Amino acid sequence: MPRITSVTVECKCGEKIFKYHKSGTGRLIKCFVSKISADYFSLPKKLPTGSAVACPKCGERVGVVQMIKGQVAVKLNQGQIKPIRIG
């Protein structure tokens, strides 16, 4: 079993976006929607591919919805979130 770490994804403006159960070590690049544990604002459960995830406070784009390995995931915009690295 890989190590699971609960991390909070935050916008650069300080707004919390969601909590995520990251497996393994390294930099957080993408978040599978099925492993997002708590929304600070309501992330729609059915997200169309290509739609943007915007910060509710500043409106900047913090990620984009993509299909990764057949699962719905949020690919994070590294320039707009606080960097998260485990390990």
Cα dihedral across residues 81, 33, 8, 58: positive or negative: positive
- Residue 10 interacts with Zn ion (CB under 5 A)? no
Q: Is residue 13 at the binding interface for Zn ion, with CB under 5 A as the rule?
A: yes
Residues 40-79 that bind Zn ion (CB under 5 A): 55, 57-58
- 49 Cβ contact partners less than 8 Å away, ≥ 6 residues apart: 65, 66, 67, 72
Nearer to Zn ion by C-beta: 15 or 86? Answer: 15
Rank residues 64 and 68 by Cβ distance to Zn ion and give the closer one. Answer: 64
Would you say 52 or 58 has its CB closer to Zn ion? 58
Cα torsion for 18, 19, 21, 23, to the nearest 10°? 70
- Note the residues at the interface with Zn ion (CB under 5 A): 11, 13, 15, 55, 57-58
